[in-house]
A = this chain, B = another copy of it.
Amino acid sequence: MFDFQIAATSGAARTGTLTLPHGPVETPVFMPVGTQGTVRALSPADLKAVGASMVLANTYHLHVRPGEEVVAQLGGLHQFMAWDRPLLTDSGGFQVFSLAGFRRVNDDGVEFQSHVDGGRRTLTPERATEIQWTLGADIAMAFDHVAPGAADEATSRDALERTLRWLERCARRHRDLADRPPGRPSVQTLWPILQGGTHPNLRTEGLRRILDMGSWTGLAVGGLSVGEPKAKMYEVLELLEPRLPRPLPRYLMGVGFPEDLVAAVQRGVDLFDCVAPTRNGRNGSAFTPEGPLNIRNAAFRTDKGPVDPTCDCETCTTYSRGYLRHLFVAEELLGLRLLSLHNVRYLIRLAEQMRAAIRKGEGALAAWADDWRRRYTQPGIA
C-alpha cells in the first residue's frame, strides 16, 4: 500500500503508478477539487466518465460544514460523497491562511473565524490530523503555515520553521491513530508539505529537514502558485527536482492551468490539483488546444462546432458552441456543468497525453511539450 512504481522517464518527467487503499492512480495525474465534498457541478459518474482517478477534498470546509463527525456517521468521506476511488484531503492550512476573516497564529496552532458562521475555531497540527483521519481519505496532508507568494525571507523562514515543527506533531499523531489497533493495515498515509516561498536556501534546507525526519510515501510542494511570478515557480521546481528522492511521488499543490501542468511535469512533478477547470467552466471559459475560449462570445451564436474538436467528452461530442453559448447567456445550470466537465476532461487528457509522451522515452516529452506550447500560445480562438 502507498507504493509508487515509476514505469518510464523522459528528462526529469516520470510516469508511474501510485497504489492507494482505494485503487491505483496513474501519474502524472490531475485531481479535480471537491471543496465541500463535491466537485462543483459534477457528479461522481461525470468524474469517472472523464477519467478522474483521484479527487481532493478540503479539510477546512468539511470541518466547518457539515463537520467531520457527520461525515463519519454517514460512512466516511468516500461513502459520503459516493466516490469509491482514491481521495486526498488537504490539511486546512491553506484555507485558514487564505479564507478566514480572522486568524491568530502561535506555535500551538491557528485560531480562526469560520467563514460560514463566524464562530471562533482552533486548528492545531493534532486536530488537523485527527479530522483528516476521521474523514478517511487515502492521503492526508500535514498542517502547514502558508506565507504569501511575495513574502520576504524572514516571513518565509518563520512559516517554514513553524511548518517543520508542526510536521513532527502531525506525524506523531498520525502514527498513533494509524497504529490503533496495532497490526491493522493502514488505510491512510500522511504527506509532508514543503514551504519556503521563493527563497532557494529555505527550500533546499526545508527539503533536507523533511527528509531527515523520517521515511515518507510522498511529498508535497506548497506555497507556490500563491501570487509569485510563474518564472519563480518554475525556478523553485528546477531547484528541487534533483534534490527530491526519485522514488517519492511529488505533489504540486494548487496547480494548475494547462501551461503550468506541462511545465511542472517537465520538472518532475507527479500530482496536481486546482479549482481552475471548474471555476473557469462556471465562468464560461473553456480550455482548448489553442488556448482558453469565452463561450459567451457573440461569434459563437450560430456556431455548430464543438467547444474543442479534439476532445472526447460528453460536452464536445454532444453540444454545439451555439447551444452552450445560449445556456450561458440564458443563465442555465446545465451550462455550468457542461463546461466544468469539459475543462476537467481537458486537464485529465493533458496528463494522459504527457504519460504517453513520457513512455516514448528520452526527448519525447520535450518535443511533445514544444508542439503543445506552440499551439496553445497562439492567440486563442475567442
A73 to B322, CA, bound (A): 9
Task: Give the number of copies in the complex.
Answer: 2
Write out, one digit per residue, whether chain A residues 280-323 have a CB within 8 A of any chain B CB (1) or not (0): 00000000000000000000011010000000001000111011
Question: Is A347 in the interface zone, CB < 8 Å from B?
Answer: no
Write out, one digit per residue, whether chain A residues 24-41 have a CB within 8 A of any chain B CB (1) or not (0): 000000000000111011
The one of B44, B82, B334 in contact with A43, judged by C-beta atoms closer than 8 angstroms, is B334
The tally of residues in A whose CB lies under 8 Å from a CB in B reads: 38
A68 to B6, CA, bound (A): 56
Q: Which residue of B lies closest to A43 (CB)?
A: B334
The one of B301, B318, B325 in contact with A82, judged by C-beta atoms closer than 8 angstroms, is B318
Knowing A82-B318, A304-B74, A319-B82, the reply to whether A65 touches B326 (Cβ < 8 A) is: yes
Whether the Cβ atoms of A326 and B66 lie closer than 8 Å is yes
Question: Is A75 in the interface zone, CB < 8 Å from B?
Answer: yes
Write out, one digit per residue, whether chain A residues 219-256 have a CB within 8 A of any chain B CB (1) or not (0): 00000000000000000000000000000000000000
Whether the Cβ atoms of B38 and A334 lie closer than 8 Å is yes
Whether the Cβ atoms of B330 and A337 lie closer than 8 Å is no
A379 to B73, CA, bound (A): 27
Whether the Cβ atoms of A332 and B40 lie closer than 8 Å is yes
Question: Is A366 in the interface zone, CB < 8 Å from B?
Answer: no
26 contacts between A and B (CB under 8 A): A36-B326, A38-B334, A40-B334, A42-B334, A43-B314, A43-B334, A43-B337, A43-B338, A45-B314, A66-B329, A66-B330, A70-B322, A73-B304, A73-B322, A74-B302, A74-B322, A74-B323, A75-B320, A80-B320, A80-B323, A80-B326, A82-B319, A333-B333, A333-B336, A333-B337, A337-B337
Given A43-B337, A74-B320, A81-B323, 13 further pairs, Cβ under 8 A:
A36-B326, A38-B334, A40-B332, A41-B334, A44-B318, A45-B314, A65-B330, A66-B325, A66-B326, A73-B322, A74-B304, A80-B320, A337-B337
